[in-house]
Structure 1
Amino acid sequence: MHVHVADHPLVSHKLTLLRDERTDSPTFRRLADELVTLLAYEATRDVRVDPVEVQTPVAPASGVHLSNPHPLVVPILRAGLGMLEGMQRLLPTAEVGFLGMVRNEETLEAATYAERLPDDLAGRQCYVLDPMLATGGTLAAAIEFLVRRGADDITAICLLAAPEGVARLENELNDVDVPVSLVTAGLDEKLNEKGYIVPGLGDAGDRLYGVVG
């Protein structure tokens, strides 16, 4: 698995504001949206394209366009929805699928409760959106789900990651025979006893949408 931590002053600036506990939900959503678009540039470096010829007002020119089938963007519900618009801004023609996964707070294991994806993902590049790579269980389960459907190239985009989560991904996906990459804005220090990233930015879902009572 290839891991890329984005090294750019704008990425660091926006991530710092996201970490700040004083940042309210509307501002947090806007910053997350902007940060995802920056990360998406890094994540799509190897997006598949085909050559094409176009006519400019002056002369013919060689270029490229996205290959078919187009990439599939898969936000993990619910917090991944807060990353979708930023990704679609860069890939407006990409199709969108949804995967609902929830983490058991006692076992820290992930379970699927909903999905809206094509039955056959053969030949598809998939971009998985999940704000926090903490224990790694949810993201590993999501990637394995997509591989079983036939996806042959998967890139996960996370705002933040913990070393424990990266290690678990590498371990659980060791036998997966398709390329898997992780693009993140930061690799933090550790997880605490509750499975939260330290220093992190808190619960991304709650900060995006507020606490649901």
Structure 2
Amino acid sequence: MDPLPPNVHVSKHPCLVAKLSQLRSKSTSAKEVKSLVHEIAIILGCEALAHAVSAAPGSTDETPLGFPYQTTSVLPETISLVPILRSGLGMVEAIQTLLPAPVPVHHLGLYREPISLEPVEYYNNLPDHSSATGQGASGLAVILDPVIATGGTCAAAIQSLREWGAQRVLVLSVLGAAGGVARAAAEWPAGVEIWLAGVDAELTDRGMLKPGLGDVGDRLFLTIGK
């Protein structure tokens, strides 16, 4: 497998690696899949956000014992979560838990055309979506998508956020194919960082990761075989 681009980071956390192994199993139930995706997102999010945001001094507050102290906030001030429908929804709660304050959640709906395997956008609720003004754009937009296969969907999402006016994009993914991850990372090398729990070297002829973990959306929402 060729070396990954410098803006791609693969976690070495032993607990994360073990949970990914559990998620791969065909015997893992839908309830367990949901829990594992959530737990993996928490560990991965901790590592990624430690690099993507910074602490900043805030206002003065008071402890229950009456002692004053200076609060801490995070920068950038404007952060948004952008789950890719459907499976990205399984990662939202984990990242919301990590962030110290509520942030907007904007949804992108993309699917792969079965023949070409290229992405087709069917839903976009980015506010004031305009490449000309970028009004309402975030300092950091966090794409949540458990699997990067061909990389087309992730690259299209990155492009949409860049046109919207996001200053930086952070991609959190459970598993990616090496070629697809490289394709997504090349979409905006200066503005994108990609963090993953694991990388597979190959894709099947249907564009699925090998060995992979199946269709995460189907496993989360019990629509296997639809």
What's the TM-score once normalised by structure 1's chain length?
0.91
Q: Quick check: 1:70–1:93 contact (8 Å CA) kept in 2?
A: no
Measure how far apart 1:58 and its partner are: 6.2
Q: Which residue of 1 is the match for residue 207 of structure 2?
A: 195
Give the Cα–Cα distance (whole angstroms) in 1 for the partners of residues 191 and 185 of structure 2.
12
Confirm whether residue 147 of structure 1 aligns to residue 159 of structure 2. no
Select the residue among 79, 86, 96 that pairs with 2:94: 86
Offset from partner CA, 1:82-134 (integer Å, 9 cap, x none): 11111212125121111111111210110110111222244521100011011
Confirm whether residue 36 of structure 1 aligns to residue 41 of structure 2. yes
Measure how far apart 1:62 and its partner are: 3.7
Give the Cα–Cα distance (whole angstroms) in 2 for the partners of residues 123 and 115 of structure 1.
15
Give the AA of the match of 2:111. V
Q: Which residue of 1 is the match for residue 109 of structure 2?
A: 100
Give the Cα–Cα distance (whole angstroms) in 1 for the partners of residues 40 and 109 of structure 2.
23
Query: What SS does the aligned partner of 1:128 have?
Result: strand
Unaligned runs of 5+ in 1: none
Select the residue among 45, 50, 57 that pairs with 1:51: 57
Report % sequence identity.
38
Mapping for residues 57-76 of structure 1, pairs under 5 Å: 57=65, 59-67=67-75, 69-76=77-84
Give the Cα–Cα distance (whole angstroms) in 1 for the partners of residues 30 and 85 of structure 2.
17
Q: What is the alpha-carbon root mean square deviation over aligned residues? A: 1.9
Q: Quick check: 2:185–2:194 contact (8 Å CA) kept in 1?
A: no
Q: Which residue of 2 is the match for residue 211 of structure 1?
A: 223
Give the AA of the match of 1:2. N
What's the TM-score once normalised by structure 2's chain length?
0.86
Unaligned runs of 5+ in 2: 1-5, 129-134
Offset from partner CA, 1:160-180 (integer Å, 9 cap, x none): 011111221233335xxx521
Give the AA of the match of 2:166. A
Give the AA of the match of 2:202. K
Return closer, same or farther for 1:173/1:66 CA change in 2, 3 Å cut-off.
closer
Give the Cα–Cα distance (whole angstroms) in 2 for the partners of residues 171 and 180 of structure 1.
9
Give the AA of the match of 2:127. P
Give the Cα–Cα distance (whole angstroms) in 1 for the partners of residues 194 and 47 of structure 2.
10
Q: Quick check: 1:121–1:146 contact (8 Å CA) kept in 2?
A: no
Measure how far apart 1:49 and its partner are: 4.2
Give the Cα–Cα distance (whole angstroms) in 1 for the partners of residues 41 and 16 of structure 2.
9
Q: Quick check: 1:136–1:169 contact (8 Å CA) kept in 2?
A: yes
Confirm whether residue 185 of structure 1 aligns to residue 192 of structure 2. no
Measure how far apart 1:68 and its partner are: 6.7
Give the Cα–Cα distance (whole angstroms) in 2 for the partners of residues 82 and 198 of structure 1.
22
Give the AA of the match of 1:33. H
